[in-house]
Each structure stands twice: as structure tokens, then as C-alpha cells.
Amino acid sequence: QVQLVESGGGLVQAGGSLRLSCAASGSIFGIGAMGWYRQAPGKQRELVARITGGGSTNYADSVRGRFTISRDSAKNTVYLQMNSLKPEDTAVYYCNAESRLVAQYHYWGQGTRVTVSS
């Protein structure tokens, strides 16, 4: 099994910064790309950022230039640095890991809530 444990969520003022962390444990060898998704009330879950094992990244247009995803493979940890936060960034953020061994299988964290106040 793979377990994803998230940390770093909380309450922050608009314009501030947070860094989310996601530590993976268990069958680490089976993990490929990792990423962050978010879901706000009344909205669909959306991809925020994704990073492959080779370091290629994707970002949602709404966060490009403000958020940075990074990966420390030695520590089995993925980070999401969030700068210039806006109230529209308020959501539950979920860590995601793609299986290298089972097609279409994804591991998910429990979610961490980010609230950006005005």
C-alpha cells in the first residue's frame, strides 16, 4: 500500500503564502507522477499542479506564476509553494500519486483545507 500524508494547510490572509507538503510511504517504488488537486464548494475537483518523475510540470492557468510544485525523491515528498494567495484559492487540497504498476490507479491523500481570507 501507499500512504500519502499532507500537511501545511490552514488559514492565511490574501496575498500571503503557504507551503503544502505530501509525504509518501509504503510501496514507494510503485509511484510515478504526483500532483495536487483542489475542490472548492460547488465546484468540480481540478488539477492544480503535477510533476513527473523526470521533473516535468503542469499548472492550471489560474495558478501559473504563483504556485510552484517540487519533488524531493530521496524524501518521497512533494511540495506545493503557494504565493500571492487569493480568496478564490480557498479549497480542500488533495495530494495525488499515480501508480507505475497499475493502469489508471491513483493514490490520494486525505485532503488539507486552505482558507484565504480577505
Query: So what's the pLDDT on residue 103?
Result: 86
Predicted confidence pLDDT, tens digits, the chain (118 residues) = 899 999 999 999 999 999 999 999 999 888 999 999 999 999 999 999 999 989 999 999 999 999 999 999 888 899 999 999 999 999 999 999 999 999 889 999 999 999 999 9
Beta strand 10-13 pairing with 112-117: parallel
Query: So what's the pLDDT on residue 92?
Result: 98
Using CA atoms, how far apart are residues 106 and 31, in angstroms rounded to an integer? 9
Task: Give yes or no for a contact between 76 and 45, defined as CB atoms under 8 angstroms apart.
Answer: no
